[in-house]
Amino acid sequence: MSDVTLNQATVAPPLPALRLWRRVRPVLLSLIVPLLLLFGWHWAVAAGMTRLIPSPADVAEYMVDFAFGGIWDDAFSATLHIHLLASASRVYGGFVLAALVAIPLGLLIGRNALVRQLLDPFLQLMRPIPVTAWLPLSMILFGLGARSAFFLVFLGAFYPILLNTIFGVKNVEPRLFEAASMLGCRGNAQFFKVVLPAALPSIFTGLRLGLGLAWFVIVVGEMTGVPQGLGAVIMDGRTLSRTELVICGMIVIGIAGFLSDRVVVMLMNRLLRWSPSHHG
């Protein structure tokens, strides 16, 4: 009984220069569009097409001041880390809470008909209500401040995690239950041995979407009158007509959201090594 080779093609090792080019090429390609946009922005401001938007160079200068201070020394100088930390703690707090509620609930709804009949219609009815619409009510319920922001992030992250978990549980290949039961794994043991691992890719998809949305709604969440946070910075910037501050806040949220997505993707690729669509 001998073997066949692994289904992965083996490629001869390329030359070092070629290898370097292969790594650099995607980076260069991904930079083209942002650089063009940046140039367009710079050119538009220089040509006097707008007076309300600062040039990229101005924004860069404010960004340095926002992060390290020493240029303008105003109320926002060297405060980036404070706002970032405040926002990140709400984003992750709300996100983790959403995951802790949505994953078990999704597993239950997906597996148990009674729980599904009890909760699914209600949850589906609540789902179309946008997070922004919750803002006034959340301010009444949780007061002006961080708890409101926390709640809104929770709400924003909750549905994608819940729906993807339900989907994952409902779509376990029936064959795998048959295989498990003929091998002596029956009843509740199948939940941990079959349902959970089989649903994991979907759960991760939900977590990824949920975390993205958590960053998405943080601005809304921090409109509720919190003193710190990137959303608050953007709102302050708007009130004070300091567009460069608004843009700085946007950039930081974009980067923070991107980096936290990368962390989830790395974790996902590690845990889902077995899945053909997740390795790499």
Applying CB under 8 A, the residues found at the interface with other proteins are 1-4, 6-8, 175-176, 178-185, 189, 193-194, 197-198, 200, 272-276
Decide whether 180 or 251 has the Cβ nearer to other proteins. Answer: 180
Smallest distance from other proteins to CB 250, Å = 39
Match 């953007």 to its residue by tokens: 234
Decide whether 201 or 229 has the Cβ nearer to other proteins. Answer: 201
Smallest distance from other proteins to CB 179, Å = 4
Rounded to an integer, what distance in angstroms lies between the CA atom of residue 250 and that of residue 214? 15
H or E element, residue 246: helix 243-271
Q: Are 146 and 85 in contact (CB under 8 A)?
A: no
Decide whether 85 or 179 has the Cβ nearer to other proteins. Answer: 179
Question: C-alpha distances in angstroms, 156 versus 21, 133, 179, 211?
Answer: 41, 12, 38, 9
Decide whether 200 or 233 has the Cβ nearer to other proteins. Answer: 200
Match 């509620």 to its residue by tokens: 101
Q: How many CB atoms lie within 10 A of CB 104?
A: 11
- The structure tokens listed for 196 are 């959970």
Smallest distance from other proteins to CB 7, Å = 6
Smallest distance from other proteins to CB 103, Å = 17
Smallest distance from other proteins to CB 195, Å = 12
Q: Which residues contact 251 (CB under 8 A, 6 or more apart)?
A: 59, 63
Decide whether 199 or 218 has the Cβ nearer to other proteins. Answer: 199
Match 């991760």 to its residue by tokens: 204
